[in-house]
Amino acid sequence: MDLFLAQDDARQRAAGMFTLAMSLMAGVVLVVHLLVVLCVGGSLSETEVHQRVVGWTLPATIALLLVGVIVRVYALRLGGSGIAEELGGRRLHPSTKEPGEKRLVDLVEELALFSGIPVPEVWLLEGESSINAFAAGHDASSAVIGVTMGALERLTLEELRAVLLHEFSHILSGDMQMKFKMLVWVQGILFLSLAGRLMIASDSPNRAGFWGRTGGLEQKKNHGSRAVVAENEGQSRSVIGVLLMLMGLVSSLFGRFLQGAISRDREFAADQSAADTLASHVPVTNVLRKIGGLPNRSWIENPTAPESGHLFFGASSVGVFSAFFPTHPDLEDRIRRLNPEWNGDFLPSLARKVEPVAVSADTSGPAQEDSHLSVAAKAAAAIGARKREKIRAKELAQATAPKSYPAVNLNFLGTCMVPAQLLSVGVLKRTLKSEWMEQTHSTEGVKLLLVELLKPVNTAKMDLGMASTSQMLLLMDLAMPMLRRMSVSEYYQLMKQCRREVVRPESIDLVRFLLLQVVRRRIGIALGVREVSPVVFEELPSVWQEVRVLVSSLLRMGAPTASGRSAAHLAAWASLGYENPTPPREDCSIVEMVDALDVCEQASPVLKKRILVACGLAASYQGQIQEREMAVVRLCADALGCPVPHLSTSKMEEPA
For helices 3-39 and 157-173, what crossing angle results, to 10°?
Answer: 80
Is residue 85 annotated as a catalytic residue, yes or no?
A: no
How many residues are there in the chain?
A: 656
124 - beta bridge partners?
A: 90, 147
In 3D space, the residue among 6, 147, 177, 185 whose CA is nearest the CA of residue 79 turns out to be 177
* Beta sheet of 90-91, edge-to-edge order: 90-91, 121-125, 144-148, 133-136
**DSSP labels, 602-645:** TB-HHHHHHHHHHHHHHT-BTTEEEHHHHHHHHHHHHHTT---P
CA 594 vs. chain centroid, Å, equals: 25
Alpha helices in 401-487 (DSSP H): 419-429, 434-439, 443-454, 469-483
Q: Rounded to an integer, what distance in angstroms lies between the CA atom of residue 306 and that of residue 526?
A: 25
> Tell me, what amino acid is at 127?
G
Q: Which helix (H) or strand (E) holds 379?
A: helix 375-400
Q: Identify whether the C-beta of residue 215 lies closer than 8 Å to the C-beta of residue 203.
A: no
CA 610 vs. chain centroid, Å, equals: 24
CB neighbours of residue 174 within 10 Å: 25
> Tell me, what amino acid is at 285?
T
Q: Rounded to an integer, what distance in angstroms lies between the CA atom of residue 234 and that of residue 406?
A: 79
Alpha-carbon dihedral sign for residues 511, 517, 521, 523: positive
> Exactly one of 109, 128, 167, 267 is catalytic; which is it?
167
For helices 331-338 and 282-292, what crossing angle results, to 10°?
Answer: 160
125 - beta bridge partners?
A: 148
Query: Annotated active-site positions, please?
Result: 167
